[in-house]
Structure 1
Amino acid sequence: MSEGFTRETPAWTRAHAEGLHRDDSNVAPIIYPPDERLDEDLHIWDTWLLRNRDGSIAEIDGRRVIFALTSPSDLLPGKRHDVATIRYFYSTDGENWTTGGRIFDDGTLGQRQWAGSAMYDPDGDDGEVYFYYTAAGEDGADELTYTQRIALATGGTVHTDDSELRIDGPWDHRVILTPDGDWYEREDQSRGMIYTFRDPWFYEDPQSGETYLLFEANTPVPEGTGACDDPVWEEFNGSIGIAHSPTGDPTEFELRPPLLDAVCVNQELERPHLVVRDGTYYLFISSHVHTFAPGLEGYDALYGFVADDLRGDYEPLNGHGLVLTNPENAPFQSYSWLVYDHGDELLVTSFFNYFDYNRPSLDDVSLLPPEEQMRRFGGTLAPTVRIGVDGTETDIVGTLDHGHLPLRREALPESWWDGAARDGDDGGY
């Protein structure tokens, strides 16, 4: 058995996942298209906030910044991942966003860039940005490839004036992590439907002060090891990886054993990230209905786990892991959820995916006429969902409008705090 696969790693087990079910505590309301998309010229999907080193949302001269994967809006939505570029947007109120442009002009690694995270250091020269991203595809390859490496761009700085915010280079790009083949599967070891080594997320542990990167990966499970009761399940081997910076330098990391694995359960644990509240660690990922192993019924959804410390024995929230999902009659209306702390509750942002569509698989989107594929793709920020959390239990308590991302200290109308959205206020839906 591979040294990378061990039951010493906390696990999302089949016994946990067999309990997955939709109910009033985890199903979001139907999403309707907004009057205006964030940017009519762009498809916008996976999104993340510019954060300070301690994980709080950065605010620079009264502005906050988000980043997102983007493509031209005249492209068929299913083709967008092949040409993904990262753009930034900024806002003074967390509701109305201005397109700032592409974060990188040149020098990027990979054939295209996928999701990551960004850390703002106000003590650096002019306010330095450390930008972690997924370098997808082999540099210079003629054909589209799916090799994934974790890359870092440094040298970018933030500039503001009365009318705009800019993030300028020049950037220096380099690969900082590749899979080792022991704790984390290499592409040539993969037997599953999807290979993953991506989605770097910068994290400074508030208890220890140590510096880390989380990322999505797969645990090596060599054929014939008997890791699962059914050998077919061994191909479903998603994990949440972690790397540590021994010196605290945000440019140098060493791989460490996974925080959690889902061997025999799920192939893809996307965009892992943490929220720490009162010494309790909440670990969140997104995953798909089609990446669960045979015999399990999951959903396109936000899943979460809880432990008493960073390297603790993570257990699934709500007993099974499901925190937030789409309605049965709109199973793909949103995806790529990101959670952040907002005082008494958690706020969850995502992107508006396929609506007016209830077929059992996203593969069937390609069967629709091109004009219908375009019409049914949201391609902008989804409504923000408010989540209440009590120990190991979570509950949807309301919603905000499309792309409304308030800071923790910002006051919301009193109606939001008394459950008005759940009791009839549509909250932007």
Structure 2
Amino acid sequence: MSERPSLDTTAWTREHAHGIERTDDNTAPIIYPPAEKTDPDNHIWDTWLLRTPGGEIAEVNGYRVIVALSAPNDLLPGKRHDVATHRFYYSTDGRQWTPGGRVFGDTDPLGSRQWAGSAIYDPSTGAVSLYYTAAGSRGEDELSYTQRLAVAHGGSLVVDEDDGVSFEGPWTHDTLARPDGEWYEREEQSRGMIYTFRDPWYFEDPETGEAYVLFEGNTPVPEGSEACDGDPVQQEFNGSVGIARAAHDEPTACELLPPLIDGVCVNQELERPHVVYRDGTYYLFIASHKHTFAPGLDGYDALYGFAADALFGEYEPLNGSGLVLTNPANAPFQAYSWLAYGHRDEILVTSFFNYYDYDRPSLDDVGLFPEPEQFRRFGGTLAPTVRLGVDGHETWIRGTLDHGHLPTRDEELPETIDERIGRLRGGHDRDRGGYGH
């Protein structure tokens, strides 16, 4: 078993992960290409909603906004992370999204490219802070994978009756945090397949009012450690969910704290951590891949989750293993980078449409296809939104919505097939596994 790196850290154990299994409750239906893509000129993938500091989805003069990683759609999909930049899209109905362009316009953010993060809008001032991952160094001749948490502040969101929505500067870009080498592995300490210190997610604890930034990291496991029963191969799989103390009135304030969760001996990447708070329970979600699970474990490209009665835990894996939502076995990579948020009495999950018409066991095989086939099989747009039912530490799929349908705050969703059957039978049993729209 893994050694706990901190008294404040919950371990996602191999015993938990051995329980990962596809069921009707956690397996999404097959995704088919939409009639139109969100952005006809760009691939988009990791996506997040503009939120208020308190976590509500921001609605500004009837508009809501999403930010996404993007790359030109004439670029081979497998190369998109090498040039990733932030673009935004806006909508009045949560269904049709208008491309707004680059978030930072012609100005240069930190890093040679920018990866995922979060965006916060202050309704009282109109100010926007965008937290992001600065990957590499601007001007580098050869791409590096150095990562640091960054924040852009000083910008604002402007709504014009004729011109729609825009972000306006001037922006100030600052490094928010770098790994400390004690709680969070530095790049030179890494022994694993992938190094991570990224995906900053701003969160204000509704029970205390304190501000934090969650992120993805790796827990240092020194060579010769007794972690993983001394197995040096398993020790390379050391993903963690990090957290730092932030401040409401100072975007650059950041104090690293011990991780909330570590996956030492289990998984190398606990990506895009974020929290949904419901009825006194903190639901902490991550995304992860099949290939980042340690030897001896069979996981999937999937959304995983944990629940606790307080932000600092102790967390229990949802559904016993942590698995919340995954792709079907015959389309194992059809969606990725899931993001959950609360809507009325359920949780909605958005993601991006990844590789479809593709059932090989590894994404490495994508490169074996001719380039036209690589383009054809990549979705590069918003995936259908999945509806989750939640009861304590259990979750299940209630149904799905259309590609990119992110309901507005007051929007009532249609009843699912199981709800309809229950109503007609005169009962009100909890619906499970219904994919009805």
Q: Give the TM-score of the pair, scaled to structure 1.
A: 0.96
The 2-side partners of 1:426 and 1:410 are apart by 17
Aligned twin of 1:78? 78
Aligned twin of 2:308? 307
Q: Report SS of the residue matched to 2:158.
A: strand
Consecutive unaligned residues of structure 2, counting only runs of 5 or more, are 422-430
Aligned twin of 1:194? 194
Q: Post-superposition shift, 1:106?
A: 1.6
Taking every aligned residue pair, what percent have the same amino acid on both sides? 68
Aligned twin of 1:382? 383
Aligned twin of 1:291? 292
Do the aligned residues in 2 keep the contact of 1:85 with 1:102 (CA within 8 Å)? yes
Q: Report SS of the residue matched to 2:152.
A: strand
Q: Post-superposition shift, 1:158?
A: 1.0
Q: Post-superposition shift, 1:247?
A: 6.7
The 1-side partners of 2:254 and 2:67 are apart by 23
Aligned twin of 1:52? 52
Aligned twin of 1:147? 146
Q: Report SS of the residue matched to 2:78.
A: helix
Q: Report SS of the residue matched to 2:156.
A: strand
Q: Deviations over 1:319-376 (max 9, x none)?
A: 0000000000000000000000001100000000000000000000000110100000
Q: Post-superposition shift, 1:258?
A: 0.4
Within 5 Å, give how 1:237-248 maps onto structure 2.
237-245=238-246
- RMSD, matched Cα: 1.8
Q: Does the C-alpha gap of structure 1 residues 247 and 171 become closer, same or farther in structure 2, counting only changes over 3 Å?
A: closer
The 2-side partners of 1:139 and 1:240 are apart by 27
Q: Deviations over 1:202-244 (max 9, x none)?
A: 0000000000000000000011011112221000000000000
Alignment-mate amino acid for residue 100 of structure 1? G
Within 5 Å, give how 1:264-279 maps onto structure 2.
264-279=265-280
Aligned twin of 1:251? 252
Alignment-mate amino acid for residue 395 of structure 1? W
Report which stretch shifted further, 203-212 or 226-235.
226-235
Q: Post-superposition shift, 1:408?
A: 3.1
Q: Does the C-alpha gap of structure 1 residues 14 and 7 become closer, same or farther in structure 2, counting only changes over 3 Å?
A: farther
Q: Post-superposition shift, 1:59?
A: 0.1
Do the aligned residues in 2 keep the contact of 1:4 with 1:184 (CA within 8 Å)? no
Do the aligned residues in 2 keep the contact of 1:192 with 1:236 (CA within 8 Å)? yes
Within 5 Å, give how 1:2-81 maps onto structure 2.
5-6=5-6, 9-81=9-81
Report which stretch shifted further, 379-388 or 248-257.
248-257
Aligned twin of 2:427? none
Do the aligned residues in 2 keep the contact of 1:211 with 1:248 (CA within 8 Å)? no
The 2-side partners of 1:107 and 1:298 are apart by 38
The 2-side partners of 1:332 and 1:425 are apart by 19
Q: Post-superposition shift, 1:273?
A: 0.1
Aligned twin of 2:349? 348
The 2-side partners of 1:409 and 1:318 are apart by 29
Q: Report SS of the residue matched to 1:231.
A: coil
Do the aligned residues in 1 keep the contact of 2:89 with 2:97 (CA within 8 Å)? yes
Q: Does the C-alpha gap of structure 1 residues 419 and 195 become closer, same or farther in structure 2, counting only changes over 3 Å?
A: farther
Aligned twin of 2:130? 131
The 1-side partners of 2:168 and 2:114 are apart by 18
Is 2:323 the counterpart of 1:330? no
Do the aligned residues in 2 keep the contact of 1:341 with 1:408 (CA within 8 Å)? no
Q: Give the TM-score of the pair, scaled to structure 2.
A: 0.94
Do the aligned residues in 1 keep the contact of 2:398 with 2:435 (CA within 8 Å)? no
The 2-side partners of 1:247 and 1:63 are apart by 24
Aligned twin of 1:357? 358
Q: Does the C-alpha gap of structure 1 residues 4 and 396 become closer, same or farther in structure 2, counting only changes over 3 Å?
A: closer
Aligned twin of 1:226? 226
The 2-side partners of 1:88 and 1:416 are apart by 34
Q: Post-superposition shift, 1:4?
A: 8.7
Do the aligned residues in 1 keep the contact of 2:25 with 2:433 (CA within 8 Å)? no
Alignment-mate amino acid for residue 160 of structure 1? V
Report which stretch shifted further, 404-413 or 232-241.
404-413
The 2-side partners of 1:92 and 1:216 are apart by 32
Q: Deviations over 1:238-266 (max 9, x none)?
A: 00000002676333110000000000000
Is 2:414 the counterpart of 1:418? no
Consecutive unaligned residues of structure 1, counting only runs of 5 or more, are none
Q: Report SS of the residue matched to 1:319.
A: coil
Aligned twin of 1:214? 214
Q: Give every structure 1 segment of 4 or more consecutive aligned residues whose post-TM-superposition deviation is greater than 4 Å.
A: 414-417, 419-426
Do the aligned residues in 2 keep the contact of 1:214 with 1:272 (CA within 8 Å)? yes
Q: Does the C-alpha gap of structure 1 residues 10 and 4 become closer, same or farther in structure 2, counting only changes over 3 Å?
A: closer
Q: Post-superposition shift, 1:414?
A: 4.2
Q: Report SS of the residue matched to 1:363.
A: helix
